[in-house]
Amino acid sequence: MEQIVLGDEAVALGALHAGVSASYGYPGTPSTEIMEYLLDAYTQGGPIARWCTNEKTALEAALGVSFAGRRSLVTMKHVGLNVAADPFINSGLLGIKGGLVIAVADDPGMHSSQNEQDSRFYADFALVPCMEPRNQQEAYEMTREAFAVSEEFQVPVLLRLTTRLSHARAGVSVEAAQGQNPLSKAADKTRWMLLPGFARRNYAGLIEKQGAILAWSTAHPKNILEQEGRDGSFGIITAGLGGNYYEENREDLIRLYRGNAPARLHIGTYPLPLGLIRKLCKDAAQVLVIEEGQPFIEAKLRGLLPASCGISGKLDGRVNRTGELDPDRVRISLGLPPRPTVLSGGLTLPPLPNRPPQLCRGCPHGDSYETIKHALAGLENTAVTADIGCYSLGAMPPYEVPESIVCMGASVGMAKGAADAGIAHVVGLIGDSTFLHSGITGLIDAVAANTPMTLVILDNAIVAMTGCQETMVPSARLRELIRGLGLGEEHLIELEAKKSLIQENAARLRAEITYPGLSVVIFKRECLEATRRRKKKG
Ligand code: SF4
């Protein structure tokens, strides 16, 4: 049976059909739609699916499912893996029982992210297998297979996705779903306790498995070597979506080489199939690597191939080092001329107008930013550290308030450090969901030290930027939570983010900013999109 689905949905379907018992995640573009699909299935009686406070708690919950012998999926965007890195790296040393698959969607080109990090490095670092589908069908099939691979080698498997695959639709042929694993708790406790004595033994076991994992990867049918009738003096290595972009230019390439096209290896699984790479490059004087993301394969080749073989790719600039690949960029790197872009009648397309992202008209954050600007006006020695969310757009005109945006939760710790360093009037700015994700621990530090800073929480009662998911703690309980950290009532202020209250709110905020201790000011008003969706639902 064929279904038309997003790449993300193909992963969700693959997990459901592999008998997943529970899925956990934290929303983040381009991975969000995996969990949205699973949540829909859950509301219709499917297996457990839940958003979590952050990626670390999501992965830890999944480890509990695996410990109980059942299959679990974790979803996140690439920077989320930094947050989950601690349990992720350690999970390779455990005796994974029920299959554990971690679907991580990378965002080359930074469409909605703060960096271009490549999750393949994480799998390599953790010594666990990684699978990289190049189309929706493979996303479905590889997800299904990843659970079995995880159980076979007793390690988690990282499924690496990228934006264009996650967010494009295609037909996917699906197979009959299998049932869930029976509940069967891990029998050997020492496999799950990383006390030094056990951890040393477990780590040795993980190293020992590497040969079998490499053999699995080398023999995997998604790694395809095309040498027959090809010119072996020029080898092309493609991986993931890079394989599709190569295919789009293949006919022209064959013409360019007068039928004697370069030999090629497509890679879909990791660890790198070293034997296949050596075979491809046996007689090669030149190798070109086309991979989406960072030069993961290319950098490894430099230690693998003889110096006589020239290696090209992102590191020598033949393939674009930053941003996404696309068929036209790959075409140029293959030595093909640019495609003509003339329309019928000789017309050429005018350049697309630039549409920078903006806050929605009437967004509560706009009023909060106006308030903060008024509150800071005329003060000297100030700093505003901000965070990740819709309110990051306050860095753009007309507000231009934030001076730093680093990673989820960093605004709080940075505000504390800036105050410790001697900046007199420091404001940390964070959304309600980001605060719960990883800002709260920074606030615990600030409470303990009574740091002279003001934390402004922009509470729009929803995880707005990723499509209005519910926050883990409803707005009504946010104050109670912060009180529980030890902050007194006097400097815990709630204000309504509203245009008509800007002057009044600015005076109250300024009083807190100039107070020589810690204060938290919560600006409250629901996101407009959340209101619209709530009304639509009735
Ligand atoms: S989605 Fe909501 S929070 Fe985001 S910009 Fe629009 S109104 Fe503001």
Tell me which residue of 138, 80, 156 sits closest to 114, measured CA to CA.
80
Write down the pLDDT at residue 258: 83
Question: 259 pLDDT band (50/70/90 cuts)?
Answer: confident
Q: Ligand 1 pocket: which residues have CB below 6 Å? A: 359-360, 363, 365, 390, 460, 464, 527-529
Cis-peptide into 30, omega within 30 deg: yes
Pairwise CA distance, residues 152 & 148, whole Å = 6
Decide if domain 2-218 falls under CATH 3.40.50.450. no
What confidence score (pLDDT) does residue 537 get? 83
Share of the chain above pLDDT 90, in %: 83
Q: Which residues touch 352 (CB under 8 Å, ≥6 apart)? A: none
Residue 402 has pLDDT above 70, yes or no: yes
| Mean pLDDT, residues 144-158 | 98
Which residue shows structure tokens 């934006």? 163
Provide, for the chain, the percentages of residues in helix, strand and coil under a 3-state DSSP scheme, each rounded to the nearest 5.
45, 20, 35
pLDDT > 90? residue 443: yes
pLDDT at 342 over 70: no
Q: Which amino acid is at 218?
A: T
Query: Taking the domains of the chain in order of start, what are their residue ranges?
Result: 2-218, 224-333, 364-534
Residue 530 Cα: closest atom of ligand 1? 2
Q: Determine which helix (DSSP H) or strand (DSSP E) holds 519, and give its type and residue range.
A: strand 519-524
Q: What's the rounded mean pLDDT across residues 87-97?
A: 95
Dist. CA 147–CA 218, nearest whole Å: 18
CB 428 within 8 A of CB 454: yes
pLDDT band at residue 321 using 50, 70 and 90 as cut-offs:
confident
Cα 114 to averaged position of ligand 1 atoms, centre (Å): 19
Q: Hey, do 224-333 and 364-534 end up sharing a CATH topology, with the first three levels equal?
A: yes
Nearest residue (by CA) to ligand 1, atom 3, is 527
d(CA 409, CA 439) in angstroms, rounded, equals 4
Buried b or exposed e, range 167-191, using 16+ CB within 10 angstroms: beebebebeeeeebbeeeebeeeeb
- Tell me what pLDDT residue 444 has: 95
Which atom of ligand 1 is closest in space to residue 364's alpha carbon? 8
Looking at every residue in the chain, the average pLDDT score rounds to 94
Residue-wise pLDDT tens digits, 266-299:
999 999 999 999 999 988 999 999 999 999 999 9
d(CA 267, CA 367): 50
Distance (angstroms) between ligand 1 centre and the Cα of 360 equals 5
Q: How many angstroms separate the alpha carbon of residue 217 from the centre of ligand 1?
A: 44
> How far is the C-alpha of 384 from the C-alpha of 395, rounded, in Å?
10
Residue nearest to ligand 1 atom 6, measured at CA: 360
Instruction: Name beta bridge partners: 386.
Output: 405
Residue closest to 154 by CA, chosen among 129, 122, 118, 174: 129
> Ligand 1 centre from 387 Cα, in Å?
15
Residue with tokens 């299935």: 41
Q: Which pLDDT band, with edges at 50, 70 and 90, does 167 fall under?
A: very high
The CATH architecture that domain 364-534 belongs to is 3-Layer(aba) Sandwich (3.40)
pLDDT higher than 90, residue 215 = yes
365: which residues sit within 8 A by CB, 6+ positions away?
A: 359, 390, 391, 393, 394, 458, 460, 497
pLDDT band at 131 (very low <50, low <70, confident <90, very high): very high
**pLDDT band at 355; cut points 50, 70, 90:** confident
Reported as type and span, the H/E element at residue 478 is helix 478-484
CATH architecture of the domain 224-333 equals: 3-Layer(aba) Sandwich (3.40)
Q: Cα(23) to centroid of ligand 1, in Å?
A: 27
Q: Is the pLDDT of residue 46 over 80?
A: yes
Confidence of residue 354 (pLDDT cuts 50, 70, 90): confident
Report the distance separating Cα 118 and Cα 107, nearest Å.
8
